[in-house]
């Protein structure tokens, strides 16, 4: 790790101002950023911690019935407090990493980082969530732009994420044996206006919606409907832990299981 300045503002405005400095970077739970800095792969000159901003922490229900989660809310808090409103989302948060990771890592950090194997991107895309930043609101469908790429501008902060609550939903995570991130994770959510299926871990383009599956599930929300499909095509990741073909196969298996568990 190289030396850096540290600031911990109490408001979003102060954070935005602090992030205006040269080579400044936001710090959420530090579960991704700090290991990267220790390996000297990142070298911000100023770290602006967001975890002292009360406005960005906690969970509530909006008047429209959406679950609203502050951008600096930890996975552990989501696991505990979202359970009553959105059990599938809480269960997803409860299976990220280990207790230490869950007690530090934040939803904003996870979505900003957009690791191709991370769990929250599947929930956000699969729920058609809205990512709220200090400057605008971004629909999940516009937010994710490929591995580690998002619609966020330099210095833009995720202050809140709003999840419409589905009629039924489930997340199936098939873990990569070493990291226990998702080798393939599938989030299925059934809304009055249609089913959404979001897949993480599998594609070289990052999280994506499996539209063929959504279509058949709109007709029949059953595992059988998925069993009749071919695995998704597209540019799947191939590495030590699984070939492209295996990942595509897992997408289908996990989608079927998610539907079975949700219905």
Ligand X SMILES: Cc1cc2nc3c(=O)[nH]c(=O)nc-3n(C[C@H](O)[C@H](O)[C@H](O)COP(=O)(O)OP(=O)(O)OC[C@H]3O[C@@H](n4cnc5c(N)ncnc54)[C@H](O)[C@@H]3O)c2cc1C
Residue 1 binds which entry of other proteins, ligand X, none, with Cβ cut-offs from 5 to 8 Å by kind? other proteins
Residue 174 binds which entry of ligand X, other proteins, none, with Cβ cut-offs from 5 to 8 Å by kind? other proteins
Distance, CA of 24 to CA of 44 (rounded, Å): 6
Options 186, 249, 258, 259; binder of other proteins; rule CB under 8 A: 249
Contact positions toward ligand X, by CB under 6 A? 25-33, 50, 71-72, 96-97, 101, 104-106, 108-110, 112-113, 115, 118-120, 157-158, 180-181
> Tokens for 104?
């530090």
Residue 250 binds which entry of other proteins, ligand X, none, with Cβ cut-offs from 5 to 8 Å by kind? other proteins
Q: Which residue, among 74, 79, 164, has the nearest Cα to 124 in the 3D structure?
A: 164
Residue 106 class from Cβ within 10 Å (0-12 exposed, 13-18 middle, 19+ buried)?
Answer: buried
Residue 116 binds which entry of ligand X, other proteins, none, with Cβ cut-offs from 5 to 8 Å by kind? none
Q: Which residue, among 49, 55, 52, has the nearest Cα to 68 in the 3D structure?
A: 55
Distance, CA of 46 to CA of 88 (rounded, Å): 36
* 23 or 239: CB nearest other proteins: 239
- Considering only the stretches 138-146, 200-208, 211-219, 244-252, report the one whose residues sit in contact with other proteins under the rule CB under 8 A: 244-252
Alpha-carbon distances, residue 149 vs 29, 111, 114, 141, 143 (angstroms): 19, 10, 7, 13, 9
Distance, CA of 116 to CA of 208 (rounded, Å): 10
* 1 or 61: CB nearest other proteins: 1
Residue 31 binds which entry of other proteins, ligand X, none, with Cβ cut-offs from 5 to 8 Å by kind? ligand X
- Considering only the stretches 76-84, 104-112, 208-216, 242-250, report the one whose residues sit in contact with other proteins under the rule CB under 8 A: 242-250
């Amino acid at each position: 790790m190289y030396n850096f300045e540290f600031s911990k503002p109490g408001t979003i405005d102060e954070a935005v101002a602090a992030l205006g400095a040269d080579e400044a970077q936001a710090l959420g739970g530090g579960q991704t950023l700090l290991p990267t800095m220790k390996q000297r792969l990142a070298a911000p000159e100023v770290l602006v911690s967001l975890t002292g901003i009360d406005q960005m922490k906690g969970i509530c229900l909006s008047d429209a019935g959406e679950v609203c989660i502050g951008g600096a809310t930890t996975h552990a808090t989501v696991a505990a407090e979202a359970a009553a409103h959105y059990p599938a989302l809480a269960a997803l948060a409860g299976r990220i990493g280990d207790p230490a990771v869950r007690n530090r890592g934040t939803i904003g950090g996870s979505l900003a980082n957009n690791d191709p194997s991370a769990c929250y991107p599947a929930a956000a895309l699969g729920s058609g969530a809205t990512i709220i930043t200090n400057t605008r609101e971004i629909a999940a469908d516009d937010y994710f732009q490929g591995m580690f790429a998002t619609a966020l501008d330099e210095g833009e902060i995720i202050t809140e994420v709003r999840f419409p609550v589905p009629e039924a939903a489930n997340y199936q995570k098939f873990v990569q044996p070493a990291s226990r991130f998702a080798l393939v994770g599938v989030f299925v959510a059934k809304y009055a206006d249609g089913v959404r299926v979001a897949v993480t871990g599998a594609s070289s383009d990052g999280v994506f919606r499996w539209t063929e599956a959504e279509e058949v599930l709109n007709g029949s929300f059953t595992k059988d409907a998925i069993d009749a499909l071919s695995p998704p095509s597209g540019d799947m990741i191939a590495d030590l832990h699984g070939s492209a073909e295996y990942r595509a196969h897992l997408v289908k298996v996990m989608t079927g299981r998610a539907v079975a568990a949700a219905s």
